[in-house]
Chains A and B, each alone.
Chain A
Amino acid sequence: MSATLAQAALTAPQGFLSPSGVEIAFLLVGIATLGAAVMTVTTRQLVHAALWLVVALGGLAVEYLLLTAEFIAWVQVLIYVGSIVVLLLFGLMLTKAPIGRSPDADSGNRWVALTVAVAAAGTLVWVVVDAFRTSWIDLDGPAQGSTKVSGEILFRHWVLPFEALSVLLLAALVGAIVLSRKSAPDDTPGEASAAAAPGGRSAAAPGEPSAAAPPETESR
């Protein structure tokens, strides 16, 4: 630890009060990211929450670029902004989320949640600032997260976890299909009552437009 501190002291050309250009850029993008994140969790329009999430995740991609992790930044843009937010928007549409302001977007325990979040933020900020007061990141030299470096370390040292991760993705894919398909045709009493119970609302859901249709058309 003392070696790390000494190295940090050697590679620390400036202090708090003379930020470099990359620090100013990081700070500005960080403020925008944090504002978008706060809007995501506080807005009352559900679709706007997903769109603010796009801003927050895009800001984080810029932060990765500023930290010279280039490949992570593009993966972030591709996967989070490109697929996960689109998936969330599809989920909002399939569950018939109200367009416009919904007055009950926050539950009744939001003040307890706010207290917990502010207490956790205060404690963690205090601990982190106290711990890394004298630590500087040396961003000079070759980029540490370029696509070449990432590919080399991923397929040279991390091949086995990578393959295990592909198995996990396959399992998640199969699990999502199993969860979202209709039940078997011999379960028709349970299925009929479940479909009729919410007052026809689920029968008109756009994902399953023919809940009253014969089940053979949907369960493959």
Chain B
Amino acid sequence: MHLAYPAVLAVLLFCTGLYGVLARRNAILVLMSVELMLNAVNLNLVAFDVWLRDTLHGGQALTLFTIAIAAAEIGIGLAIVLAVYRNRGSSDIDRLRDTAEGPDPADPEGPEDPAAPAQKAEAAA
């Protein structure tokens, strides 16, 4: 098999996940996109391990480690998202701007997000 097939597929999956991380608003959808990026890396690891015929099979061992770390990451990430939802009543990452360095506190949000200052006020109450 040509090596370019799995490499290009991994690149495209990674960039799909990159778009998802940057463009999604819900925190759980961002976590799904992070899973896509991790899977692209796994595909690269497996393909290069099979290509190089590594005697230690380091690529496959690292793939197993990445899968386990992804499981740990999704557990911690969902716990954080649920804690944020319990405190704020929202899991939209666009609204979680308490630590943002806004130039003007009177107009911290974009025009597409008019409910955010009220949300922040009642979260801080």
Partner of A49, one of B14, B32, B50, B61: B32
- Total A residues in contact with B, Cβ cutoff 8 Å: 99
Find out whether the CB atom of A106 lies under 8 angstroms from the CB atom of B23.
yes
Find out whether the CB atom of B57 lies under 8 angstroms from the CB atom of A197.
no
Q: Given A33-B13, A107-B94, A168-B72: A125 and B8 within 8 A (CB)?
A: yes
CA distance A20 to B105 in the complex (A): 62
Find out whether the CB atom of A67 lies under 8 angstroms from the CB atom of B60.
no
How far apart are B115's CB and chain A's nearest CB, in angstroms? 11
Partner of A34, one of B16, B61, B110: B16
CA distance A46 to B20 in the complex (A): 13
- Nearest B residue to A104 via CB reads B25
How far apart are B50's CB and chain A's nearest CB, in angstroms? 5
Find out whether the CB atom of B23 lies under 8 angstroms from the CB atom of A179.
no
Partner of A106, one of B25, B39, B42: B25
- Nearest A residue to B70 via CB reads A84
Partner of B1, one of A41, A64, A133, A136: A136
CA distance A113 to B94 in the complex (A): 14
A157 contacts the other chain (Cβ, under 8 Å)? yes
Q: Interface on chain B toward A: helix, strand, loop, or mixed SS?
A: helix
Q: Which residues of B contact A121 (CB under 8 A)?
A: 11-12, 15
Q: Which residues of B contact A67 (CB under 8 A)?
A: 1, 6, 46-47, 50
- Total B residues in contact with A, Cβ cutoff 8 Å: 79
CA distance A204 to B84 in the complex (A): 15
Find out whether the CB atom of A205 lies under 8 angstroms from the CB atom of B85.
yes
Q: Which residues of B contact A90 (CB under 8 A)?
A: 78
CA distance A69 to B15 in the complex (A): 24
- Nearest A residue to B39 via CB reads A60
CA distance A158 to B85 in the complex (A): 39
CA distance A94 to B101 in the complex (A): 31
Q: Given A120-B15, A144-B50: A198 and B88 within 8 A (CB)?
A: yes
Per-residue CB contact flags for chain B residues 27-66 toward chain A (1 = under 8 Å, else 0) read 0110111011001001100110111010011001101110
- Nearest B residue to A60 via CB reads B39
Q: Given A104-B25, A199-B89: A71 and B60 within 8 A (CB)?
A: yes
- Nearest B residue to A29 via CB reads B9
Q: Given A33-B9, A34-B13, A197-B123: A16 and B2 within 8 A (CB)?
A: yes
Per-residue CB contact flags for chain B residues 58-92 toward chain A (1 = under 8 Å, else 0) read 00110111011111111110111111011111111
Closest 10 pairs (CB-CB, A-B) = A198-B89, A113-B22, A41-B20, A172-B72, A117-B19, A113-B23, A121-B15, A179-B79, A135-B3, A110-B23
Given A26-B5, A113-B19, A113-B23, 12 further pairs, Cβ under 8 A:
A20-B1, A57-B39, A67-B50, A69-B46, A72-B42, A79-B71, A87-B75, A107-B25, A108-B94, A136-B3, A137-B1, A157-B56
Could you list some 6 contacts between A and B, CB below 8 A? A83-B71, A91-B28, A97-B28, A114-B23, A145-B50, A153-B60
